[in-house]
Amino acid sequence: MTNQYKIFPLGDAAVTLDMGNTISETLNQKALAMQQWLLAHPFEGLKDCLVAYSSLTLLYNPVIIKKYYKPADTVFAWVADLLQEAFDKALSTPTASRDVIRIPVCYEEPYAPDLAALAREKQLTTGEVIHLHTAPVYNVYMIGFLPGFSYMGEVHERIAMPRKQYPAPVNAGSVGIAGSQTGIYPLNSPGGWQIVGQTPLRLFEPFAPEPVKLQAGDRVQFYAISKNEFMEYIQRL
C-alpha cells in the first residue's frame, strides 16, 4: 500500500487527491475505497465525488461549507483535511473477487473498422487480435469522457496501440483500444480510439433506473459473437 499522495486544489470548488501518475489496480482500489468512505460520511456542500485511475476528486460548494462548518482557514484546507481522513480510514477491498461481467462483442465488419489495420500494424492476424483482446479480465478503472464511458485495462502489450491522430465518428457500443486501455463508447460520438468491435449491449440508457451499466471497480471480460448473433441481440433488446 502506498503512502504517497498529494492533495491539491482543482480550482476554488474542487480538490484532488492524487496517488501518482500511473495506472495501477492497487491505487485505483484505494481511490474507490475512499469514495465509498466519503459517500458513507458525506458532508454538507459535497456535490460530487469521482474516481480516476489513481486519484479521487471532490467537487464542493464552498459557500455551503463555509456556512455549515465555519472553517477557520480556507474551505480548501477544511476539505483537504477530510480527504486525508478518508485516505487514513478507507480500507481497500480487492475487486478481484467480484463477479466478472461478460460482454459480447462482434469483431466483424462493419463493426470493427480499425481491426484490420491494427492487426497489420502489429503483424498479427485479426483472429490473434481478437484472442488477445478477449483473453484477460479487465478492471474498470474509471468512468469519464461521456456518460458511462468505461476506461478498462490493461490490454496485452501486443495489441496496445495509440489513439488516432484525428477523431472520427464512432457508433454507440463500439469497443476501442487506446494505448494499453480498452473501453466502450456508450453513445455515438467523435472519438480517437481504435475501434476493434462493437457490443450490442446498451451501456447507457438515460431513463433506466440505473442509466450507466458499468462502474469503476467492475471486472469485465469480452467474448466474440458473430454478426448474426449481434443482430439477434439487437432484436431482443
Partner 1 sequence: MSLSIIKPGLLDTIQDLGRTGYSRLGINSGGAMDRYAAQVANMLVGNETPEAVIEIHFPGAQFLFEQNTLISITGGDFNAMLNDEPVPLWHPIVVRKNAVLHFPKLQSGSRCYLAVHGGLCVNRWLNSYSTHLKAGAGGFQGRKLEKGDEIPFRESRIYFAGLLKPGREFEVLKWKVDTGNTYRHPNEIYIIKGNEWDQLTEQSQQHLQEDNFTIHPFSDRMGYQLKGVDLKRTDNTELVSSGVSFGTIQLLPNGQLIVLMADHQTTGGYPRVGHVISAHLPKLAQLRPSDCIHFETTDLATAENLLLAQQQELNILQRACTERLNQMVC
For binding to partner 1 (CB under 8 A), which residues are involved?
A: 6, 8-14, 16, 18, 21-23, 35, 47-57, 59, 62-63, 66, 74-76, 142-149, 151, 186-187, 189, 204, 206-207, 211-212, 215-216
Q: Supply the minimum distance, in Å, between the C-beta of residue 121 and partner 1.
A: 20
Q: Supply the minimum distance, in Å, between the C-beta of residue 17 and partner 1.
A: 10
Distance (Å, whole) CA 85 – CA 88: 5
Distance (Å, whole) CA 203 – CA 21: 28
Nearer to partner 1, 71 or 136 (CB): 71
Nearer to partner 1, 17 or 130 (CB): 17
- Which of 99, 98, 115 lies closest to 107 in space, CA to CA? 115
Whether the Cβ atoms of residue 29 and residue 142 lie closer than 8 Å to each other: no
Q: Supply the minimum distance, in Å, between the C-beta of residue 168 and partner 1.
A: 17
Q: Supply the minimum distance, in Å, between the C-beta of residue 152 and partner 1.
A: 13
Whether the Cβ atoms of residue 152 and residue 236 lie closer than 8 Å to each other: no
Would you say how long the chain is, in residues?
Answer: 237
Fill in the DSSP letter of residue 99: P
Q: Supply the minimum distance, in Å, between the C-beta of residue 20 and partner 1.
A: 9
Residue with cell 470548488: 13
Nearer to partner 1, 23 or 119 (CB): 23
Whether the Cβ atoms of residue 225 and residue 106 lie closer than 8 Å to each other: yes
Q: Supply the minimum distance, in Å, between the C-beta of residue 229 and partner 1.
A: 28
**Residues facing residue 174 across a β-bridge:** 198
Nearer to partner 1, 151 or 230 (CB): 151
Distance (Å, whole) CA 221 – CA 209: 24
Distance (Å, whole) CA 58 – CA 196: 34
Nearer to partner 1, 49 or 155 (CB): 49
Nearer to partner 1, 130 or 176 (CB): 176
